Structure 1
Amino acid sequence: MAVTLKDIAAEAGVSLMTVSNVVNGKQARVSAATRDRILRIVKDRGYVPSASARSLAAKSSRLVGLLVPAEGETSLTIDPHTVEVVGMLERELRRLDYHLMLRGISHRTEITEALRSWHLDGAVLLGFQDAEIDRLKADTVGGVALVAMDSYSANPLALEVRSDDFGGAELAVRHLIGLGHRRIAFAGPGFSETGVVRERFEGYRKVLAENGIGFEPELVSRVEISHAEGAAHGRWLAAERPDVTAVFTTADLLAIGVVDGLAAAGRSVPGDVSVVGYDNADIAAYVTPKLTTVAQDLPGKAAEAVRLMMDRLAGKDRPEQATTLGVRLIERDTAGPPPQ
């Protein structure tokens, strides 16, 4: 039979309230000798506090949801960026004795359903379109502390943490131009739907203009972030845009696909075409050739997301809605001078 607080109180010769206070860390009014005696009995008897009971007592579930878009049978684990964010958020929350729940959302209404039904203290929204976050209302959020990662929504209900997407694109394109490239393509999802891609696209355009390179709409392609879509785009570039000598993509998974598609079409990277990704996911250093990419500070982003959430749960007002973290270029093996 499981040991109860009542059992521990009887053995220690103290009240049930005293044991409860010690177990829950409220020890200011308990003598050191009594506290040590209770903790020794707790250890000897193998007492494990009930998480649900503690949540009810504290009026807090200590649960944080990570909500990620998902379509049909799509697995969330195919995206290296999402996988790394999950791990880092879980680590930061575990340090604070919070638990992370991951949920794929296939319909917009599921966001509000998840927030209302899970008794969450907070939720992180990752990968949603800005318009989807804009539509969230206070009566549907229900007091859950929201943090949107990689979002440019203006909804004050969601605090935001993101990387310097504009600056990251500038780093990538300046690097390619510095190597001698002039025919530089851009590949990423629809930037009318997400500010992240839009900012990276605008950074690309700005650096082209600064270097006297005319913007060519035909070099901009909408490509969804997957290895298969990237590979198909790499084959298309080889066949339809043979004059392109460099490609800047908005995600590493997409960039790796482009490299493989170019190789399948007989084009070498970086000998014929240079490719730069974005994120610096772990896989970028493991593929061959190793991927040149823009590195986000993912540990810092996860830590900041949790800090913003804890501040909101504590009722702390923040003058700014968004926090932007710096980026850096990681030079590896997929970018070099254009062919002569």
Structure 2
Amino acid sequence: MTTLKDIAKEAGVTVMTVSNVINGKYDKVSKSTVETVTEIARRLDYVPSAAARSLVAKSSRLVGVLLPATEGGEIFLSTHNVAVIGVIERLLRENGYYLFLRGVSATEGVSGTLRSWNLDGAIFIGFLDSEIQQMRASFDTPLVVLESYAAHGDFMNVRLDDRKGGYLATRHLIQNGHQRIAFVGTEISERGVDRERYEGYLQALREAGIGGEPVALLSYADTYSNGVEAGVTLCTEHPEVTAVFATADQFAVGIIDGVRSLGRTVPDDLSVVGFDNLEIAATSRPPLTTIAQDLNRKAATAVDLLLQSLQNKEEQPGETILDVELVERESVRNLKRA
């Protein structure tokens, strides 16, 4: 591998001179020397050390994207996260930054990760607010969080109007004549995405005068397999339920297949509404009615806020709330027409 010393030897100059040319400090070197060193570096296929340039510039051009590590160590259980990370990586690359992806637990902390890799900034996806506050206390790197409901003055947050999403989904089912509507989501022990969607679900039920104890099935993760299990449970243990709002399309598609595994169908035996409007919503059978969010805009907003903070050092908005809307397809049966 070609080094600065190799270039200096062939050019007949000092290593410091070569370093100045490579790092763009042309005011300290003559024009002819710049041309000579540049030509030799090109011919010898010299590649600057990213680590060395990071030390000189005091910037690694690395942005950390951190997600919760599950008990099994997996971080890609959510297709939503995969889609968001794909957009984040592309936008960072287009702006000359590199993505550093890591799964962490709140208990292990993140300050060591940020320091050891000299990350310029970070984006958190999928953490509980209590975990975010705990981790944030250990570092001061510019931070954007996706989907936080914490009181925040020391990081930027991009989230959806989740309560509205839960409300729209449930109201749509009610407008189609459903009275016994189940909720399927993840654990909702503290305020966050699924709790807000659950509150929207309850609001729609209250407005319609629908009483009784809500049927809520909660899992540790919004995976397809958990959705299949929920579909089977609804059909076998809650025959009174005619419709379900699931907080993720993965859940919803799993529910559809769980219902199908019992010889029943969606929407004839159970109507289903999901959340996210991922590609699987349009390709499922039947196509899934869902609450749509603009994943591209959410990811782009997060990257834009972080890069503005890194490049301009100006104070950015503390919170950005993005709208949602209902997309009707074929997974909801209108009982009023039955």
TM-score of the two chains, using structure 1 as the length reference: 0.86
Q: Residue 235 of structure 1 corresponds to which residue in structure 2?
A: 232
> What residue is the counterpart of 1:245 in the other structure?
242
Matched residue, 1:72: 71
CA drift of 1:5 comes to: 8.0
In the superposition, relative to structure 1, how do residues 3 and 271 fare at CA in structure 2: closer, same or farther (>3 Å)?
same
1:76 is paired with a residue whose SS is coil
Deviations 1:105-155 (A, max 9, x none): 2352333432343321111111111111123454x11x2111111111113
* Greater alpha carbon shift after TM alignment, 71-80 vs 119-128: 71-80
Deviations 1:88-115 (A, max 9, x none): 1111111122111111123523334323
Conservation of the 8 A alpha-carbon contact between 1:80 and 1:283: no
Structure 1 distance, partners of 2:160, 2:31, is 48
CA 1:235–1:45: 2 relative to 1, 3 Å: same
Aligned-pair Cα RMSD in Å: 2.9
Aligned to 2:96: 97
Q: Do the aligned residues in 2 keep the contact of 1:182 with 1:213 (CA within 8 Å)? A: no
**How far is 1:208 from its partner?**
2.4
- For structure 1, the 5+ residue unaligned runs are none
- Taking the aligned partners of 1:41 and 1:22, their CA distance within structure 2 comes to 12
Question: For residues 324 and 274 of structure 1, what CA distance do their matches in structure 2 show?
Answer: 29
Aligned counterpart, 1:337: 334
Give, in angstroms, the shift of residue 46 of structure 1. Answer: 2.5
User: Match of 2:214, SS?
Assistant: helix
Aligned twin of 1:125: 124
Judge conservation of contact 1:278–1:295 (CA < 8 Å) in 2.
yes
Q: Taking structure 2 as the reference length, what is the TM-score of the superposition?
A: 0.87
- What SS does the corresponding residue of 1:290 show, helix, strand or coil? coil
Deviations 1:5-59 (A, max 9, x none): 8727965x99877765665567799999987776665544423221111101110
The aligned amino acid for 1:155 is: H
Equivalents in 2 of 1:80, 1:31: separation in Å?
A: 54
Q: 1:257 to 1:43 in 2, by over 3 A?
A: same
- Taking the TM superposition and a 5 Å limit, the aligned residue runs for 1:255-274 are 255-274=252-271
Aligned residues: 335
> What residue ranges of structure 2 are gaps of 5+ in the alignment?
none
Match of 1:214 among 210, 235, 245: 210
Task: Give 1:157-306 correspondences, 5 Å limit.
Answer: 157-210=154-207, 212-224=208-220, 225-306=222-303
* 3-state SS of 2:86 partner: helix
Distance 1:187 1:128 in 2: 19
- Selected match of 1:315 from 313, 316, 321: 313
Aligned-pair identity (%):
45
Q: Is residue 252–residue 280 contact of structure 1 (8 Å, CA) maintained in 2?
A: yes
